[in-house]
Structure 1
């Protein structure tokens, strides 16, 4: 039976391989892939992710093969990413407590949210959150995206987060409980050793923030505590962790394997890998 995958991309730049890798696994299996962005804007690959000569500063080497660079360029220039779903249109905005007539507004919000979440679960079998620097801007602390994550989590549907696309998983929390849904889980993600000291930029802006604004490793260590664990696997070529329903992939070279493990979860019931 074919599967349907909802894939979320930043409008401020995704890393090419972190989309191309999972997409290759999904396309081989004939999955239907639907793309979504925070406001419905067309997503584009970050230029360094299409440049095999670009040297990743922390790693001191190129992280993009000519083949992946070409695949990213072809995808980015195709019409496949045109007209993504708008998360802003799919999911209502939670009202402030200070807004007039708050009780009626929050009741309406929950009605709309329940309808939206049910609709997503009726259509999609899994959720993918693609990484790159862009998610730092419009995915990490996006309340509407968190509600999508929570819907898949409650329904026990697989969720794949890649690189900085793991961050929304750490911040997605039930409103009353406030614990991360990663609490007690084993995950991987961008370790401190991989963090840039300078050069973090975003598409569509002239703003270069230098170093990354937060150390994802620290966030993930805190989110998974006390009984879970962050696995950086520094010194190993790949780092992909499966702790159902989550697949987490550390960075660029883990993208193809991350997609393959999501397929294994969907088709063969994989529940644990890499720890």
Structure 2
């Protein structure tokens, strides 16, 4: 296929040898299947801020640190230079998160570097060489749902233990290969200790995953992993190997009305986003299946 303009510099530099096809195009980025030597990878091309429609991006940027004081001031003022720096921070957040999470045992695509808004990374495939399906497209037994849900909860805990919350976790950004779930799409990853929205973002992530697996294992509907995990985190008792029960007893405290309203607003926004993604999926994001044995 014709080489996309943003990938051409990587071809010129010998980082990419061939662009085989477009895998998908979303609101934040387009993903292409590329050949690098003898290896098939994917190239994620981030869209410009003017083209991107990620909901409430400012809420996700809150708390992100920039060491260079000039860059930080420019970002606060919203100047042209500042917007450019915000884009670089947005893009580097994903590759930084991928390296950090892989180091603590969270299954994510292996990154190979981010080059001027193009992230080169591992292509996740199933045992037959096809592009791995999204969790949204997977049907499973109750036993498998419970097992994979536990795996996902362990990943959420490991992420939080290194200070990260995915921020947009759902069945649409988890792939499933022969070894189980793989978490993708992390440019909006949230700093748990510095973002005022961290608690409800974590709860939304966990509850999205719970609700999907509960379609196959209804007993998961009554679990309270979000409250249990956040409570342990706030107390400083959360460890990567913490044993979770999925149960939580609410203390005798007054309800935080602001937090409740935030959760309600977040739930509404998430439902609208989910509907848009389902619509996109029906319109063709499920594309063609790719079999590398035939390339």
TM-score, with structure 2 as normaliser: 0.27
Structure having greater relative contact order (Cα 8 Å, sep ≥ 6) = 1
Q: Which has the larger radius of gyration?
A: 2
